[in-house]
Amino acid sequence: MAEIKAIKARRSSSLSDFFLRYYLLLGLGLMVLIIAISYIFLLKPKYQQIGAGGAYDMASLESQLGAREKYLADYRTLLGNYNKINQSEVEKIKKILPVGTDIPGLFSQLQALAEANEIILVNISISEAAEAAAAPATSLDEEGAAEPAASAEKPAAANVPAGLKRLNLALSLAGTGNDSYANLKRFLQALENNLRLFDVSAVYFTPDSNGFSVNLITYYTK
């Protein structure tokens, strides 16, 4: 046991002597190793980014700055134009192209136009253009109650801009004045001048009859 302890003591003494003799070299080597690792994994990637074409290249940064300044200028222009918009004009646009179908408002407008031109609005058949072939049309009588849709020829599909939806309307009308044909012409003209967009796609009438049928297309946004 004494010999083992002596051997351990000599080894410990030798190791201590080694560190005392070469600690400067070991410290210097460790420092060089730390610097090398820091350069490879930290400094070198940053230096490459600063080089031509890198993420921190001055030309690249100036180009990004110019693009962002242009974006900011465009944003300020749009914001200024938006602040200049009259809210009454915004409401008018909403009436021209309402958000949603607005069936009650649609019925009220058509009823008012008919009464102003001495026309009786007997029935309205309304259907979504995209689902006209698959779903039955919704029909409203002159009291606003739902009833089965009257058969009417559907207008041909039209090219509708993206974001716009289309409603097909089939109106059954009856004249009340002395000249029903003239009243019908005034009614059609009123539709064209109405604030909400209406496209007249077909008109059916018999000269000796006071009954008329008018097919319309109107639009809305979602």
Cα–Cα dist 80/75, whole Å: 8
Task: Return per-residue pLDDT of the chain as tens, 222 residues.
Answer: 656 655 556 566 676 666 666 777 777 888 888 888 887 777 777 666 665 555 556 677 778 888 888 888 888 888 888 777 776 666 667 777 788 888 888 888 899 999 998 889 999 998 887 544 434 444 444 444 444 433 334 444 446 666 788 889 999 998 876 778 888 889 999 988 888 888 898 999 877 778 889 999 988 887
Q: Where is 31: in which H helix or E strand?
A: helix 2-38
53, 82, 111 - which closes a domain: 82
The two three-digit tokens of residue 70, written as one number: 């242009």
Q: With respect to residue 179, please indicate whether it lies within any of the assigned structural domains.
A: yes
24, 58, 82 - which closes a domain: 82
Instruction: Give the amino acid at 105.
Output: G
214 in the same domain as 113: yes
**Which residue range(s) make up the domain with 134?**
94-221
Q: With respect to residue 72, please indicate whether it lies within any of the assigned structural domains.
A: yes
179 in the same domain as 139: yes
Q: Are 63 and 186 in contact (CB under 8 A)?
A: no
- Unique residue bearing structure tokens 């089965």: 148
Instruction: Give the amino acid at 159.
Output: N
The number of beta carbons lying within 10 Å of the beta carbon of residue 208 is 5
Torsion of CA 104, 105, 109, 111, to 10 degrees: 10
Q: With respect to residue 88, please indicate whether it lies within any of the assigned structural domains.
A: no
123 three-class SS: strand
151 in the same domain as 118: yes
Cα–Cα dist 130/5, whole Å: 97
Q: Are 39 and 48 in contact (CB under 8 A)?
A: no
Q: How many domains does the chain have?
A: 2
Phi, psi of 158 (to 5 degrees): -120, 160
40, 56, 82 - which closes a domain: 82
76 in the same domain as 136: no
The two three-digit tokens of residue 100, written as one number: 């949603």
Phi, psi of 92 (to 5 degrees): -65, -40
Q: With respect to residue 214, please indicate whether it lies within any of the assigned structural domains.
A: yes
pLDDT at 214: 92
Q: Where are the beta strands (DSSP E) in the chain?
A: 119-128, 138-141, 146-148, 164-175, 198-205, 211-221
Long-range contacts of 200-203 (CB under 8 A, 24+ apart): 201/155, 201/156, 202/153, 202/155
186 in the same domain as 120: yes
CATH number of the domain where residue 150 is located: 3.30.70.60
The number of beta carbons lying within 10 Å of the beta carbon of residue 192 is 10
DSSP 39: I
